Amino acid sequence: VCLLPVPVPSQVPSCISSGSVRLHASNPNLSTAALGTAKEDFCRVANNRKYSLLPTTNNSTDGSHPLVHQASNESRASITESLSEFFDAQEVLLSASSSENEASDDDSYISDNVSDNISMDNFSNETERPNSENGTLLRRRRSCLPSASPNTSNISLWNILKNNIGKDLSKVAMPVQLNEPLNTLQRLCEELEYSELLDRAANTQDPFERMVYVATFAVSGYASSYHRAGGKPFNPVLGETYECDRPDKGLRFIAEQVSHHPPISACHADSKNYIFWQDMRWKNKFWGKSMEIVPVGTTHVILPGFGDHYEWNKVTSCIHNILSGQRWIEHYGEISIRNTSTDICQCKVTFIKAKYWNSSVNEVEGTITDHKGKVIHRLFGKWNEGMYCGDPPSATCIWRANAMPADHEQYYGFTKFAMELNELDPSLKLLLPPTDTRLRLDQRLLEEGNVEAAEEQKQNIEQQQRDRRRVLEENTMTHQPTFFRKSKDDTWVSNNTYWDLRSDPGFAHLDCPVLW
Ligand SMILES: *[C@@H]1O[C@H](CO)[C@@H](O)[C@H](O)[C@H]1NC(C)=O
Ligand SMILES: *[C@@H]1O[C@H](CO)[C@@H](O)[C@H](O)[C@H]1NC(C)=O
Ligand SMILES: *[C@@H]1O[C@H](CO)[C@@H](O)[C@H](O)[C@H]1NC(C)=O
Ligand SMILES: *[C@@H]1O[C@H](CO)[C@@H](O)[C@H](O)[C@H]1NC(C)=O
Ligand SMILES: *[C@@H]1O[C@H](CO)[C@@H](O)[C@H](O)[C@H]1NC(C)=O
Ligand SMILES: *[C@@H]1O[C@H](CO)[C@@H](O)[C@H](O)[C@H]1NC(C)=O
Ligand SMILES: *[C@@H]1O[C@H](CO)[C@@H](O)[C@H](O)[C@H]1NC(C)=O
Ligand SMILES: *[C@@H]1O[C@H](CO)[C@@H](O)[C@H](O)[C@H]1NC(C)=O
Ligand SMILES: *[C@@H]1O[C@H](CO)[C@@H](O)[C@H](O)[C@H]1NC(C)=O
């Protein structure tokens, strides 16, 4: 029997278990058709790990046959390619929210093995934030987007592909309604939503406990992907930048799109407690009904107080039912975290792929070992809910995902932190370089709900980028990133000029590229 692992509607996980814990394995709101599609997809993925566009059944009703029959090798390649263009640089673009997250009476969806004796760490006390203790007046941030997400029910990615078979699909523009009003640079910043885990690590003497917080931080970056329905982030244009100054979190973040082919986004954040940086690009594998997004790149965290330099990879993300049915996202694979200068402490975190006979989804397990391989700490939990340290049934909650805003389904499934990322305060506007994403019109217009104008601007901005690229090519010049440089080991690192230039002389007094 092929049981379908459906995303479990996620309420705020209660770290303190209520005793009665239920796991909902099915959702009444999923149509039978959607169930069929997802099931088929699942079995296929589970049974046939080979990359393939071929469907497994002969009576598929979602129209995937014409694609398969008509696709010559050439158009097959272009479909794959254009989808990777479409999905390029997206770690996580469409998500789970299949369920539309019907609330159930039961608020706790913690899996069965997390039961009674979970102790609440003091850590998730919202009011305890770095830098707020000295009475600095912190800026109020918005708690709502200006406009709800557009209705995309009449847009079919499948129709777009089908109508363009045989054409150079990389030239086919995707409608702006498929985007969410955030771009990939902002999505990288979103991984810092739970940066207090790094602050916590920086204040922990024991190296194995530090690793617990760092590993949990690595997992927490995936939490927000769960609720993202059907939206992909905007692709930044080459040279686009993004800053995020969060005195309330004690961090400053910058990012820049440093390469277009392949698309590479580089970012850097610092705080008194840590330095965080990564450069990311993504390889996509299109399976017909699902798409795997395989990130390439390394995440780095330095805790200067201890001389720790952690490095880790990201796991694979898979969007199921990409062409039809209820889309949902899954992450699977292993994150291996090491301290580059010593092997006294290592960590492996596994995102478990849902199995069709097992209704548990989104589960994560990890071990922290010493140099002899002896397990010092065990971690477990769900990437969309929370992480625990210890052995069930008694374990400590290290982190739990924040509650979602009330109307998040209507607002792109954004968390409060995600909503704040594209906020443009008038005083901030004066300080930003003209390349900052917040000043990008198409994304702003989409955020404001003006879809038609957003579409027009998107085409305009993409055309301008093509024009700039042509000029560079004609003059055999290559693009030079402004705030990042390639280091010896080929990774992109900040050249530490952004914030200095911002305060003196200020971007208003500098020649900046004109991107739109
Ligand atoms: C939580 O706070 C209480 C009182 O403030 C303290 O006694 C306890 O040790 C703290 N627990 C942890 C895990 O920090
Ligand atoms: C959490 O925040 C509340 C409100 O400020 C405070 O009263 C409480 O002591 C805090 N809890 C801990 C354990 O620090
Ligand atoms: C309070 O925090 C702000 C922001 O980090 C800092 O600029 C300021 O110097 C601090 N003030 C004191 C008195 O520590
Ligand atoms: C979206 O539009 C379709 C009709 O095109 C309608 O049936 C559906 O209810 C709308 N959805 C929302 C959330 O408004
Ligand atoms: C979807 O519907 C809106 C109006 O409800 C319309 O403006 C738009 O063109 C439609 N899109 C497609 C792809 O049919
Ligand atoms: C990482 O390496 C540094 C430098 O050798 C060492 O001081 C630190 O304790 C190590 N930390 C961990 C968590 O292994
Ligand atoms: C489902 O998978 C989880 C995690 O791997 C495991 O703990 C659990 O025992 C499995 N349940 C069944 C019924 O196989
Ligand atoms: C759970 O809590 C109960 C009551 O406090 C205690 O008797 C039991 O030993 C605890 N179990 C574990 C595994 O800690
Ligand atoms: C470093 O930053 C400066 C100032 O923005 C810039 O002019 C320079 O090109 C950058 N250096 C490199 C190697 O990218």
DSSP for 21-62, please give it: -------TTS-HHHHHHHHHHHHHHHH--S-----S-S---S
Residue to mutate (ligand 3; options 129, 132, 133, 134; most atoms within 8 A of CB) = 134
Contacts of 422 (CB under 8 A, 6+ apart): 181, 182, 186, 437, 438, 443, 444, 447
Distance 177 CA to ligand 5 centre (A): 10
What is the CA angle 82-84-86, rounded to 5? 70
Task: Quickly tell me which residue has 């997400």 as its tokens.
Answer: 149
Closest ligand (CA of 129): 2
Report whether pLDDT(146) > 60: yes
Q: What is the pLDDT of residues 236-258, one digit of tens each?
A: 999 999 999 999 999 999 999 99
What pLDDT does 127 receive? 37
What pLDDT does 516 receive? 93
What pLDDT does 171 receive? 55
Report whether pLDDT(83) > 60: no
β-sheet bridge partners, residue 347? 337, 368
Report whether pLDDT(355) > 60: yes
Q: Are 9 and 102 in contact (CB under 8 A)?
A: yes
Indicate the average pLDDT of the chain.
76
482 phi-psi bin (left φ>0, alpha ψ -120 to 50, beta other): alpha
Could you give the CA distance from residue 497 to residue 484 in angstroms, rounded to a whole number?
Answer: 9
Distance 496 CA to ligand 9 centre (A): 9
What pLDDT does 6 receive? 32
What pLDDT does 322 receive? 76
Q: What is the pLDDT of residues 86-98, one digit of tens each?
A: 333 222 222 222 2
Contacts of 280 (CB under 8 A, 6+ apart): 89, 91, 188, 264, 265, 266, 295, 296, 297, 314
What pLDDT does 382 receive? 96
Task: Quickly tell me which residue has 């990130």 as its tokens.
Answer: 295
Q: Are 300 and 218 in contact (CB under 8 A)?
A: no
Report whether pLDDT(267) > 60: yes
Residue 136: CB atoms within 10 Å: 10
Tokens of 401: 């995902």
What pLDDT does 282 receive? 84
Distance 117 CA to ligand 2 centre (A): 21
Q: Residue 168's pLDDT band (boundaries 50, 70, 90)?
A: low
Distance 218 CA to ligand 2 centre (A): 26
Of 129-133, 255-259, 396-400, 426-430, the least confident: 129-133
Radius of gyration of the chain (CA): 23
**Domains present along the chain, CATH in parentheses:** 15-112 (no CATH), 157-340+409-458 (2.40.160)
Q: What is the pLDDT of residues 16-53, one digit of tens each?
A: 222 222 222 233 333 333 333 333 332 232 233 222 22
Pocket of ligand 6 (CB under 6 A): 207, 210-211, 306-308, 339, 341-342, 344-345
Could you give the CA distance from residue 385 to residue 12 in angstroms, rounded to a whole number?
Answer: 7
Q: Residue 133's pLDDT band (boundaries 50, 70, 90)?
A: very low
Distance 366 CA to ligand 2 centre (A): 30
Nearest CA to ligand 7 atom 14: 358
What atom of ligand 4 comes closest to residue 151's alpha carbon? 1
